[in-house]
Structure 1
Amino acid sequence: MNHIKVLIIGSGIAALQLAKSLGRHIDVTIVTKSDFYDGNSCLAQGGVAAALSADDHPSKHYHDTMVAGRKVNNKKAVEFVTKEAPQLIEDLVRAGCEFDKDQAGSLELGLEGAHSEKRIVHSGGDETGKRIVHFIAKQLHDNVKIKEKMFAYELILTKQKDTCIGVKVKLANGKIQSLFADYIVIASGGSGQIYSRTSNAATATGDGLALAYIAGAELADLEFVQFHPTLLYTNGKAHGLISEAVRGEGATLITKSGYPIMQNVHPLKDLAPRHVVSQTIHEYIQKGEQVFLDIRNIKNFSLRFPTVYTLCQKAGVNISHGKIPVAPGCHFFMGGIKTDLYCRTNINRLFAVGEVACTGLHGSNRLASNSLLEGLAFGERLAKWLCKYGTSNKELNDAKNCSTINHAVLQKHVNINELKTRMMEMTGIVRKKHQLIEQKEWLESFGIEQLLDVNFDLLSVEETTSIFMLVNAWLVTTSALYRTETRGSHYRLDCPHENNEVWLNRQIVRQKKEIVKKGENNEFIEATVVT
């Protein structure tokens, strides 16, 4: 048995910010199921939002975040993050992280959808996520151990099942290890791969969410899935993300004939909130019309957006014509493991940070460039909490303290390609009650409850991943069925308008337990329970 002080599952920006901010005196182990840099953080083309200009203020950033999230955000979370944003950027600059600058030598601030001011800082054009992740990784001290190709598949709980004391991992050679720690942090990212069209890395299969759910952690807001408007889309396949910053630089969405599709849809036109743009593109595609991103008025496109340029080259798209074929696809999960503002879950010693967590920051639709910001802000906040309170607990690394699980046998396998296609069609951007019911019944035909009790020790990584993806799909679909209104990231055809009476409602999901929770602030006054 190995014992660790802080064990982090995942290696994205939130995980690295946490590990770096803990300092040299705390032993940290990061486990990641693939290579260290294989994740969504390194794919993030957009920048980091922060109120840095003389014309801007955190209160404006707060307002824009609330409006994008359709006011079901946790106000305290939004206030904390928007206030911290300028200092976080200043700290990175002071430490030596390079950001793009204007001719005067000041930070160049970009504009993205639903922002009222230019406040997006970039690094290397559209390589912001990659560059910040690599920069923070270089700052890690020798107290941080990195373990690659370790697949975390089961949380280890005490007999009372109220405290997490470790995690089971499977190595590349199939061997199993039990890693015990004083504090376990899930920072494993989102679940984009449960959809057929996604901007997410291949590793984003929702492992952390499934781990937490099976262990009995509370989840929240799972119906809120953001679909990015512009994925490069050719021959019926999505090839990756076309950053919103491209539209911020003046690109417009047009049909094959050249009609600007956002002209009469929203006052902000092509920079409207993501759900508005995604739904508009979706409508045109449903009518059989292809949609393009017109980049002809952007000078030096290949230099300004090197990642997008390379993406187009690999997909065989010639940008000299000035048009990039696009379609919306799954991009970000606003919901996740329910935490407070210190990243604590309802299970003792289990924390969650980054996209896998749900603080309520994003509401029903994340504001552009708030995702890397979220990882930076809460990674540092959790580090401060652990440094202050994380030294007095006794170790619980005795295997005798572990709970036992009654294992079932895997009865039926799911076709992952079919799952992904059905999720895009049935639990996608536009939703209908009867389709959600049909999808839920199809998912439950695999025996969700039985799957949760399968002996994962005996399964391969691929088989376990399939189960985790199925569980994620069921959680999202079930939550979407209970959200009987259009809200933020999705559109309900049977209820096309937002219902002011349910603005303050928040869905809490917890395995096999009937509960109704009140949020820590009065904004979340009720909870719909999905079990």
Structure 2
Amino acid sequence: MKRYQCIIVGSGIAAMQLANHLSNRFPILLITKSGLRSSNSYRAQGGIAAAIGKNDAPSLHYEDTIHAGCDFHNEKEVLDLVEKGPSLINELTQSGLRFDENPTGQFSLGMEGAHSRNRIVHCGGDATGKHVMDHLMTTLSSHIDVLENRLVYELVIHPLTKKCIGVKLKDDLGNNEVYWSDHVVLATGGVGGLFLFTSNDPSITGDGIALAYQSGAEILDMEFIQFHPTLLYVNGQTAGLISEAVRGEGARLVDAQGNAIMKDVHLLGDLAPRHVVAGELFKQRSMGREVYLDISMINAIEEKFPTITAICQAQGISIEDGKIPVAPGCHFLMGGIAVDTVGRTTVEGLYAIGETAATGVHGANRLASNSLLEGLHYGKKLAAYLNEQMLHSQSEPMKIDLTKRTTITNYSLPDKQQLREKMMAYAGIIRSQLELEQLRAWLNDYDSVGRIDFSLDDSSSEDIQLLFMVQTAKLIAHAALLREESRGAHKREDFPDEDERWRKIHIVQSKKGIEMRVPHREYDQVEVHA
């Protein structure tokens, strides 16, 4: 079996940016569970936030990020992110990617919720993710091997050093494969597939978080999950994202009678932070009221938003009618695998970047269009670190017996649809102690799942993914039950206010147990320059 210097698990923007910046001196393997284009990054309608406008500055981008995330960030990481934003956009431009321009030939900068300036760059209107990802795939070096339709079901941990030294995976026929590496990077996205309503690609089900947890890594702040306010809602189901950029162009959220919903809720109205808008729409719908996005004031909407137009047409919704039925759904995970400033987890040899990592840049609620920026930033940052590490590392052949663990095939599993329904109902937009305890009790009926200490070699890919979903759901339920306040995207009906005592407390989960922790990082000594 071929040995690699680095294995990347995932195919979103963080994974592709990392792959593009790794030195071509070293053999690299990229593995994805489905196709290369089956990622949230490829679906991204919103653009990339960066302070490149004449009346903008990284300091303003910083302030907006902190405000939207309810002051729950690693402030040094936020500052580094926003300061690197303009150069990352310039780097993509220099490599041949064309961003949308206005008639004067300047970047056409859009507005989205909780931003104080127009600072969102787009490609192809609402198809930014597709254009950026296609560009990164085109520029991918030939020294990188790519395996599609492979499910990584176990990280190989050295029994003595406890270092991650490889991965075990299944191909689309169920055959097992093992690949060895000095460095393994998880870039598997978030947890949208755990919820009934979601904007995420169906393949995004929290695999990376479950893999990291089972390997002994620390998992951080899993209660903070952003629900996007506006998913197309048809026949009792959500059917695609309606980008916040539509509201940035002037669209309003209204009820069936045309009354503005957000008018008296927040000073920013329809462009309030996402957790505010999603919470209000949830309240409206829980009272049996339908919610619509009034787009009647937007000229040439088909040209500005071709992806959204196509989604609506596919579901029989007429853009010409001027109203799009919407509902909130799971969109983005702010928590995830605990990492340091370059993406190292608490397990040696294991790294995490992108949405699956808890970098601290999003706080309790991500600012719109900061996610693609995060993927670009940490992909490049980790590549610089790994290039240095691989330059000086001397790999030894692995001699480990992987056959000693017990294989168990009679574990019980829940119904996938039922799991998604319960997660949406009990760990969704508005939570309570009673419902979270009911969810936890239901999940605990599958107690063996939480300890996946047995071998999954003989399990099917479908069973393994469901095992991972249950494990990740438990991490979410535990954290949401413990945080007795409402902050950002975490809203508790029984604790409706922010509590200053919780502002710097992070909930850390690992196989060792659960810990309330105030990080050692310095939050309050950051100098922000205009």
Where on the TM-score scale, by shorter chain, does this alignment land: which range? over 0.9
| Structure 1 residues 301-326: Cα deviation after superposition (integer angstroms, max 9, x where no partner) | 11110110000011111111100000
- Tell me how far 1:7 sits from its aligned partner: 0.5
CA contact 2:506–2:517 (8 Å) conserved in 1: no
Instruction: Quote the Cα distance in structure 2 between the aligned partners of 1:236 and 1:202.
Output: 18
User: Do the aligned partners of residues 54 and 248 (structure 1) sit closer, same or farther apart at CA in structure 2, a change above 3 Å counting?
Assistant: same
Whole-angstrom CA distance in 1 between matches of 2:67 and 2:179? 42
Report the alpha carbon displacement of residue 452 of structure 1 after superposing the two structures with TM. Answer: 1.2
- Following superposition, the deviation at residue 54 of structure 1 comes to 1.6
Within-5 A mapping of 1:452-463: 452-463=452-463
Correspondence for 2:112: 112
CA distance in 1, matches of 2:168, 2:355: 22
Corresponding residue number in structure 2 for 1:327: 327
SS of 1:457's equivalent in the other structure is coil
Does residue 1:131 correspond to 2:146, yes or no?
Answer: no
Match of 2:121 in 1: 121
Equivalent pairs counted in the alignment come to 524
- Which range is displaced more, 244-253 or 140-149? 140-149
Matched residue, 1:255: 255
Question: Which range moves more in the overlay, 236-245 or 1-10?
Answer: 1-10
Distance 2:518 2:286 in 1: 40
Instruction: Give the Cα separation in 2 of the matches to 1:240 and 1:111.
Output: 21
The secondary structure found in structure 2 opposite 1:495 is coil
Establish whether residue 471 from structure 1 lines up as the match of residue 479 from structure 2. Answer: no
- The 8 Å contact of residues 12 and 189 in structure 1, kept in 2 or not, is answered as yes
Residue 298 of structure 2 corresponds to which residue in structure 1?
298
Any gaps of 5 or more consecutive residues in structure 1? Answer: 525-531
1:515 to 1:428, Cα distance in 2 relative to 1, 3 A: closer
Larger displacement relative to structure 2 (514-523 or 74-83): 514-523
| Aligned pairs for 1:19-168 within 5 A | 19-160=19-160, 162-168=162-168
8 Å CA contact 1:61, 1:115 repeated in 2 = yes
Q: Deviations over 1:426-446 (max 9, x none)?
A: 001100111101100100111
Alignment deviations for residues 323-376 of structure 1 (CA, whole Å, 9 cap, x no partner) = 000000000000111000100001111100100011111111000000000000
Aligned counterparts of 1:205 and 1:451: Cα–Cα separation in 2: 18
TM-score (norm 1): 0.96
Q: Which residue in the other structure is 1:345 paired with?
A: 345
Residue 244 (structure 1) aligns with: 244
SS at match of 1:177: strand
- Cα displacement (A) at 1:400: 2.0
Shift of 1:505: 0.5
Please state how far the C-alpha of 1:410 moved relative to its aligned partner. 3.4
**In the alignment, what sits opposite 1:529?**
none
The answer (yes or no) to whether the contact 1:407–1:453 under 8 Å persists in 2 is no
Q: CA deviation at 1:154?
A: 0.3
Is contact 1:182-1:396 (8 Å) kept? no
User: Which whole-Å deviations, capped at 9, do the CAs of 1:399-443 have from their partners, x for residues lacking one?
Assistant: 327695444443212101011001111001100111101100100
The residue type paired with residue 200 of structure 1 is: N
Distance 1:330 1:396, change over 3 A: farther
Aligned position for 1:215: 215
Greater displacement, 510-519 / 260-269: 510-519
User: Matched residues in 1 for 2:487 and 2:227: separation?
Assistant: 13
Shift in Å at residue 473 of structure 1? 0.9
Match of 1:356 in 2: 356
* Conserved 8 A contact 1:120-1:369: yes
Letter in 2 for 1:367: L
Partner secondary structure for residue 83 of structure 2? helix
Cα distance in 2 between the residues matched to 1:27 and 1:212? 23
Provide the residue aligned with 1:2 in structure 2. 2
SS at match of 2:46: coil
Q: Which amino acid aligns with 1:446?
A: Y
> Take 1:403 and 1:63, find their aligned partners in 2: how far apart are those partners?
53
- 1:481 to 2:481 alignment: yes
Cα distance, 1:448 vs structure 2: 4.2
| Contact 1:159/1:403 (8 A) holds in 2 | no
Q: Note the C-alpha offset of 1:28.
A: 1.2
Contact 1:281 1:328 (C-alpha < 8 Å) held by counterparts: yes
Q: Distance in 1 between matches of 2:88 and 2:438?
A: 45
Report the AA paired with residue 198 of structure 2. T
Distance 1:279 1:133, change over 3 A: same
Change (3 A) 1:396 1:410: farther
Residue correspondence of structure 1 range 221-232 to structure 2 within 5 A: 221-232=221-232
Pairwise CA distance, 1:513: 4.3
Deviation per CA, 1:263-312: give whole Å up to 9, x if none.
00001000000000001111110111100000001111111101100000
| Partner SS state of residue 129, structure 2 | helix
Contact 1:353 1:379 in 2 (8 A): yes
Letter of the 2:58 partner, please give it. P
Change (3 A) 1:450 1:262: closer
Q: Residue 280 of structure 1: SS of its match in structure 2?
A: helix
Q: Secondary structure at the match of 2:151?
A: strand
Shift of residue 500, structure 1, vs aligned partner:
1.0
Give the corresponding residue for 1:495.
Answer: 495
Paired residues for 1:388-399 under 5 Å: 388-399=388-399
Query: How many angstroms apart in 2 are the aligned matches of 1:450 and 1:523?
Result: 34
Deviation at 1:36, TM superposition (A): 1.0
Q: Which amino acid aligns with 1:238?
A: T
What does residue 435 of structure 2 align with?
435
- Describe the shift of the 1:410–1:212 C-alpha distance in structure 2 as closer, same or farther (beyond 3 A): farther
Amino acid at match of 2:341: L
Q: How far does the alpha carbon of each residue in 1:244-276 deviate from its partner, in whole angstroms, 9 at most, with x for none?
A: 000000000000100000000001000000000
- Matches for 1:495-514 after TM superposition, within 5 Å: 495-513=495-513
Aligned-pair CA distance for 1:510: 0.7
> Separation in 1 of the partners of 2:161 and 2:522?
29
Map of 2:423 onto structure 1: 423
Alpha-carbon distance in 1 for matches of 2:144, 2:411? 40
1:89-148 CA distance string (max 9 Å, x none): 011111110100001000010000000111000000000011001101111111111111
- The answer to whether the 8 A contact 2:230-2:327 is kept is yes
Give the stretch that moved more between structures: 484-493 or 398-407: 398-407
| Paired letter, 1:420 | R
* Distance of 1:405 and 1:112 partners within structure 2: 51
Residues 253 and 291 of structure 2 are in contact (CA less than 8 Å); yes or no, is this contact kept in structure 1? yes
Which deviates more from structure 2 when the two are superposed, residues 505-514 or residues 448-457? 448-457
Cα–Cα, structure 1 residues 261 and 155, in superposed 2: closer, same or farther, change >3 Å? Answer: same
Corresponding residue for residue 528 of structure 1: none
